[in-house]
Amino acid sequence: MTKEIFLERMADILDAEDEITLDTNLSELEEWDSLSIVSYVAMANAACGKKVDVKSVREAVTIQDLYDLLQ
């Protein structure tokens, strides 16, 4: 998955009003909550065929960290 497509999907998951970039800090996003984590894991499984560990997702600091989990 390209970074551009990933950012689009993350913007949909987060339904954030502000622009989402790879440098966006997850702790600064009010929308990054348990439902968003579940949505991210589901997207990773469906779109990338990756089984992502929820613990790794919770440890992510930035959007880039989430993207790296898919590689």
Q: State the distance between the two ends of the chain, measured CA to CA, in whole angstroms.
A: 9
Q: Which domain holds residue 26?
A: 3-69
Would you state the pLDDT for residue 50? 80
Would you state the pLDDT for residue 56? 94
Would you state the pLDDT for residue 29? 93
> What is the reported pTM?
0.92
Q: Which residues is 62 bridged to in the sheet?
A: 25
| Structure-block tokens of residue 1 | 């998955």
The answer to whether 69 and 50 have CB atoms below 8 angstroms apart is yes
- For residue 6, the one-letter residue type is F
pLDDT mean by block of 10 residues, the chain; 71 residues = 94 90 95 95 88 92 96 88
Q: What backbone phi and psi angles, to 5 degrees, belong to 12? A: -65, -45
The answer to whether 29 and 35 have CB atoms below 8 angstroms apart is no
For residue 63, what is the domain's CATH number?
Answer: 1.10.1200.10
Would you state the pLDDT for residue 17? 81
| Total of domains in the chain | 1
